[in-house]
Amino acid sequence: MGDVGRPEPGDAPQPRATAQGVARHRADDPLNRDAEEQASDAPPRPDAGEHGAGGRLRGVTWGLVVAVLGSWCLAAAAVVAGVAPAHAPATRPLPTATDPQVVVVGIPGLTWDLVDDDTPTLQALARTGGTAALVARGPDEVTCAPDAWLTLGTGTRTDRDALGCGPDATPPWGREDATEPDLGALTGPLEEAGGCVATYGLTAAPDASGRPQLDTEAAGLLAGPALDPACTVHLVAAPAVLEGDRSDVLEAADAALAELVADLPPGSTLVVSGMGQTAGRAEAQALVVHGPTGQESAAPAQLTSGSTRQTGLVQLLDLTPTVLSLAGVAGGAGSTADLPGSPVTVVRTSAAAPAQESADLAAAVSEAKRLAPWTLGALAAVLLPLLGLAGLLGSRRLLVGTTATVMAVPVATFLAGLVPWWRAGQPWPALTVTVLAVAAVVAALAVALTHRVDPSAVGRRRRSLLLPAVLAAATMVVLGVDTLWSSRLGLVGVLGLQPVTAGRFYGQGNVGFGILLGALVVLLAAVLSWLPRWSATLAVALLGGGTLLLGAAPGAGADFGSVPATAVVSGMLLLAALRVRWTWRSLLLVAGGAVVLALLAMVLDWLRGPDRRTHLGAFVQSALDGEAWGVVARKLDQSLGILVGYPLSWLAVLALAGLAWVALRRPAWSAPLWREPGVGPAAAAALVGMTLAWLLNDSGIAALALCLTMLLATGIIVLAPEGEVEAR
């Protein structure tokens, strides 16, 4: 392969993009330089007009590097000092009784917006107990009541052989001869401890047409069941609260719940949970844990679990180990130690109104999932025509300003979480306007900052990459700090973690990593272009190492898929900074180092123990259990399924192919891209990194798309026509 050296800042400008100039440019490209020229570390000989520009650009570049790394270090220090939010908040176990009784009331379709003055019993329980937003995800994004009850009974995501959630879906438990759900994860440990499980309304009975259905009205909550005193755990089914007909059913369920609470024996803990979705879309549901009765109740607080590590957020999977723990069964084979979920715990430091905080979080994560395509589509409908208009008019100012806004949209979707847009009467317009306004402000601030660098000293050629570098640094600051501070902005962002689908609850998601990778490549292109050899080497090592640590650290990103891609990109550009020729041997060395780093991150996380492991350590354990290939196959299936199920995702593949063609062929119109010596190596490294990110993540196509967004926006800004004189 070619060499990856580069001219020092201040080298004479390259000729314009004539046919002869393009040929000379290709011959003088960093990937095709003579090895002896690369090895030379002679100081540059800047032209008189470029001397001040080089020093100013070096100062600006180091300022951007320090801003990124400094913000991350300060954020990490704040977490260590306990003055900033972090993953896995301080918690205490749920209170239990000496002779415990656990009553679980499952109400399909129970969302937090329904808990109000019309449901006084639910409202009173929420105000005095522990509360959380519940992610009801089973194997599918939309989980109906039978699948939710099956998941509770088995302790793992379970469905009825994908028979669907409609009223005609039969049989309710997946087998013709099954009259009750599989409750093995509960009954086994409880029977070993001398207890049992009683169910009320979960028996399948034939309806008028002979199809088996849940008998919730005859034997469930509305029937006012008498709890079996011989059993420890009681599962009480309530009728579904449908989206179009909620009031009567819910009011009847609330009244029946009041009667049940009045008759609870001493020492009972009541768990009221949404038990499946009825609106046909993924949305967070309500969870309330109250009790034990007959004891002094703890102060109202929000709940969390070890699987979500987020204040006020719990999975349906967590209910099985929670019920066992409340019933006095914990640890040992066949109990909570073998379940994928984690027992629900109480957050020690909670908000003044914990139930309202839980309701807000449920609304935010649900609306972020529902509105993501509509908001992104609306933003595209506004910004893409502006780009087209700017191109037709030949207005550099409009083109650069609009493109800068597009480049700021990803980080703006995170910053929009600082505004409670989900409380608006019309969340979609509120969210769209908020993101657009924040993106415009970020772009305007970046443009203003670039204008503080003297245009007469720096020149239009160098300043064309400065604006993307500033936007990239701002993006890295926000995403890095949010990842270190419990990812709360990503939790409620349309390009964030999407917790309502149980994709990820903490750390760095695939979409966020794609944004961060694109920003890293853009900033490193500026570093390679404007810093001398050893300064560039140090800056690349610091930025690449910091990004790698951010993605792999258990208390931050905890993202295995980010480690190889980041390591390869950083390694390739580190060679470029050192002016080491890219050969098969050097690239294999980079690839081997990436593999070693990934394995080291996983093993170190695995050594932290089962209670503290993240996704990285969990994969090592799955490999030891012989289940690693199943995990890999599932991720590949999901990744390929996106291409099949979402045809628009092929646009990202086509854009990747187009970028590869431009980087390899370098047509005449792309000549301005390669005037900065760091762009060529950065583009090549980005192609490899994006491909790895795509292949190693279950939703890697989303990471690819967002990384391309950052890179393509940078390319448009650099290629913007120079005919229009900019305002000083």
Confidence band, pLDDT 50/70/90 cuts, at residue 21: very low
Instruction: Provide the angle, in degrees to the nearest 10, between the axes of the packed helices 427-451 and 354-393.
Output: 60
At 42-51, the pLDDT tens digits run 333 334 344 4
Cβ within 8 Å of residue 377, ≥6 positions away: none
Place of tokens 């399924």: 641
At 651-663, the pLDDT tens digits run 888 999 999 999 9
Q: Of 187, 170, 295, nearest to 231 (Cα)? A: 187
Give the least confident one: 20-24, 427-431, 463-467, 568-572: 20-24
Confidence band, pLDDT 50/70/90 cuts, at residue 246: low
Confidence band, pLDDT 50/70/90 cuts, at residue 31: very low
Confidence band, pLDDT 50/70/90 cuts, at residue 169: low
Confidence band, pLDDT 50/70/90 cuts, at residue 490: very high
How far, in whole angstroms, is CA 333 from its chain's centroid? 33
How far is 175 from 159, CA to CA, in rounded Å?
A: 11
How far is 677 from 658, CA to CA, in rounded Å?
A: 21
3 state DSSP class of 711: helix
Given a cut of 90, whether residue 698 has pLDDT beyond it is no
Kindly state the greatest CA–CA separation across the chain.
92
Given a cut of 70, whether residue 15 has pLDDT beyond it is no
Percent of the chain with pLDDT over 70: 83
Give the least confident one: 70-74, 293-297, 580-584: 293-297
Q: Using an 8 Å Cβ cutoff, are 163 and 138 in contact?
A: no
DSSP class of 325: H
Higher pLDDT, 463 or 107: 107
Higher pLDDT, 180 or 43: 180
Given a cut of 80, whether residue 463 has pLDDT beyond it is no
pLDDT of 426 reads 94
Annotated domain spans of the chain:
19-35+52-83+361-719, 91-348
What are the Cα distances from residue 202, in Å, to 143, 232, 262, 271, 358? 17, 17, 22, 17, 28
In this structure, the strands spanning 91-93 and 268-274 are unpaired
Cβ within 8 Å of residue 502, ≥6 positions away: 135, 137, 315
pLDDT, average across residues 185-205 = 89
Q: Using an 8 Å Cβ cutoff, are 720 and 404 in contact?
A: no
DSSP class of 727: P
Selection from 52-56, 82-86, 700-704 with the highest mean pLDDT: 700-704
How far is 58 from 45, CA to CA, in rounded Å?
A: 15
- For 315-349, b where at least 16 C-beta lie within 10 A, e where not — what string? bbbbbbbbbbbbbbbbeeeebbeebebbbbbbbee
Token digits for 114?
């329904």
What are the Cα distances from residue 349, in Å, to 126, 298, 311? 17, 13, 9
Write down the mean pLDDT value for the chain.
Answer: 84
pLDDT, average across residues 462-472 = 86
Selection from 29-38, 146-155, 558-567 with the highest mean pLDDT: 146-155
Higher pLDDT, 600 or 28: 600
pLDDT of 727 reads 38
At 491-516, the pLDDT tens digits run 999 999 999 988 789 888 889 999 99
User: For the chain, how big is the Rg over CA atoms in Å?
Assistant: 29
How far is 211 from 188, CA to CA, in rounded Å?
A: 30
pLDDT of 352 reads 81
DSSP class of 47: -
Indicate whether this model's pTM tops 0.85.
yes
Q: Which residues pair with 288 in a beta bridge?
A: 131, 272
How far is 493 from 377, CA to CA, in rounded Å?
A: 15
How far is 566 from 545, CA to CA, in rounded Å?
A: 9
pLDDT of 23 reads 40
Percent of the chain with pLDDT over 90: 51
How far is 512 from 522, CA to CA, in rounded Å?
A: 16
The topology (CATH level 3) of 91-348 is Alkaline Phosphatase, subunit A (3.40.720)
Q: Of 314, 336, 239, 274, nearest to 148 (Cα)? A: 274
How far is 683 from 668, CA to CA, in rounded Å?
A: 17
At 343-391, the pLDDT tens digits run 999 998 767 889 999 999 999 999 999 999 999 999 999 999 999 999 8
Cβ within 8 Å of residue 304, ≥6 positions away: 89, 91, 132, 310, 311, 312, 313, 314, 344, 345, 347
pLDDT, average across residues 521-546 = 95
Cβ within 8 Å of residue 135, ≥6 positions away: 284, 308, 313, 314, 315, 316, 499, 500, 501, 502, 505
Given a cut of 60, whether residue 65 has pLDDT beyond it is yes
pLDDT of 380 reads 94
pLDDT, average across residues 74-90 = 87
- For 571-583, b where at least 16 C-beta lie within 10 A, e where not — what string? bbbbbbbbbbbbe
